A and B are shown apart, each in its own frame.
Chain A
């Protein structure tokens, strides 16, 4: 395995976890009730921990003197490789739930695959994260059902969230040169496998939630090349504010 490939692979995954964690942290004090508010922030904390572990490893693989903090605070938008889905805003609670639910499904499969690879660090991180993500999957899946099979209002909102976020699903099973290399090394499953896994999980969940599968539409692409929706810039502005205003400020 080429070190620079593995670096890029960890960076992509770490970035998605990081941006998800940030979006989740924005839910703090916005949960529908106190217990759920605590749950939402705990989900974010798990993701932040996974992002930290992955980015520390990425920095070590890169071996250019950058730390995980440098990767988080000193890269511009075009150097982030998180999926566009992860940066979509918390329009309402349903959007936050649907976005995190789809990503939990994705991460569950990714970590499952990585837990068996011949790389002590990565398989260790994955084994740990896998147990955490199984709680996310179950908790968020419960919310999709509860909202979908709830009131007219909650049903409409969660259906709208699925419809609007659907076009970002394609990136999760899209393949580029690096993905193919990682598949050959056993670090990833094929795009086709990922697609059928995601569709079967989501459609059984939607059926249970009395929701309908969104129509097939145009799927976005680009985050693997650092192209993003307008939302990432605003997110980074806030996340990186302190380090930009006071470079290298320390806790």
Chain B
């Protein structure tokens, strides 16, 4: 077996996030580590949210992908520490989210107190900052539902966590 971490990461980045297809699981920060144990390959994943229903699917997709690349012994393990945070998203990833129609998380999660303060979310359709939160929970737990008061379109905002 070729012990090439970079290669494994490249394979894993071919897997799209099941809920946000324009982002892959490496960009999402879900892949935490790739370890080689002799003939076995261990992939450490971390959930975005404790109850993220996409986790089981990602687990399965990782195994399928690596099996298809010839890695027969793959173990997927779940790690909780450090806790996943939107701070891990690169600017490029955030731009991809915005182009897809999801307002990316604003600012950094410096402390628990900054979590809930997102007053100036820009509309991903028209760019206006004249927006309003309709619900703290959107189509998935990681998003909040906003409405743009300028173009009147509803949109998802990826919450800081």
Chain A residues within CB distance 8 Å of chain B: 35-36, 38-39, 42-43, 45-50, 52-53, 120-121, 123-125, 127-132, 134-135, 138-139
Contact between A128 and B84, CB atoms less than 8 A apart: yes
User: Is B22 close to A, CB under 8 A?
Assistant: no
User: Is B74 close to A, CB under 8 A?
Assistant: no
Contact between A135 and B116, CB atoms less than 8 A apart: yes
Which one, A48, A121, A134, contacts B51 given CB within 8 A?
A: A48
Residue interface bits B119-141, CB-to-A below 8 A is 1, else 0: 00000000000000011111111
Which one, A43, A48, A52, A128, contacts B137 given CB within 8 A?
A: A43
User: Is B104 close to A, CB under 8 A?
Assistant: no
Instruction: Give the secondary structure class of A's interface.
Output: helix
Instruction: Give the secondary structure class of B's interface.
Output: loop
Q: A125-B80, A131-B83 are in contact. Are A49 and B137 (CB under 8 A)?
A: no
Q: Return A34 CB to nearest CB of chain B, in Å.
A: 9
User: Is B159 close to A, CB under 8 A?
Assistant: yes
Contact between B159 and A123, CB atoms less than 8 A apart: no
How far, in angstroms, from A36 to B53 measured CA to CA in the complex?
20
Q: Return B32 CB to nearest CB of chain A, in Å.
A: 11
Contacts of B134 in A (CB 8 A): 35
User: Is B79 close to A, CB under 8 A?
Assistant: yes
User: Is B112 close to A, CB under 8 A?
Assistant: yes
Enumerate B136-154 residues with CB–CB distance to A below 8 Å.
136-141, 145
How far, in angstroms, from A45 to B161 measured CA to CA in the complex?
16
How far, in angstroms, from A47 to B138 measured CA to CA in the complex?
16
Q: Return B34 CB to nearest CB of chain A, in Å.
A: 19
Contact between A127 and B83, CB atoms less than 8 A apart: yes
Contact between B112 and A134, CB atoms less than 8 A apart: yes
Contacts of B141 in A (CB 8 A): 42, 45-46, 132
How far, in angstroms, from A39 to B143 measured CA to CA in the complex?
10
Contacts of A135 in B (CB 8 A): 115-116, 136-137, 159
**What are 20 A-B interface contacts by the 8 Å CB criterion?**
A35-B134, A35-B135, A35-B137, A38-B137, A42-B137, A46-B49, A46-B141, A49-B47, A52-B50, A121-B80, A123-B81, A124-B79, A124-B83, A127-B81, A131-B83, A131-B109, A132-B49, A135-B116, A135-B136, A135-B159
Q: Return B121 CB to nearest CB of chain A, in Å.
A: 16
How far, in angstroms, from A120 to B159 measured CA to CA in the complex?
26
Beyond contacts A127-B81, A128-B50: 19 other A-B pairs, Cβ-Cβ < 8 A, are A35-B137, A39-B135, A45-B53, A45-B141, A49-B49, A49-B52, A50-B50, A53-B50, A53-B80, A120-B81, A121-B80, A125-B80, A127-B83, A132-B161, A134-B112, A135-B115, A135-B137, A135-B159, A139-B137
Contacts of B84 in A (CB 8 A): 128
How far, in angstroms, from A121 to B81 measured CA to CA in the complex?
8
Contacts of A42 in B (CB 8 A): 137, 140-141
Contact between A125 and B136, CB atoms less than 8 A apart: no
Q: Return B115 CB to nearest CB of chain A, in Å.
A: 6
Q: Return A100 CB to nearest CB of chain B, in Å.
A: 13
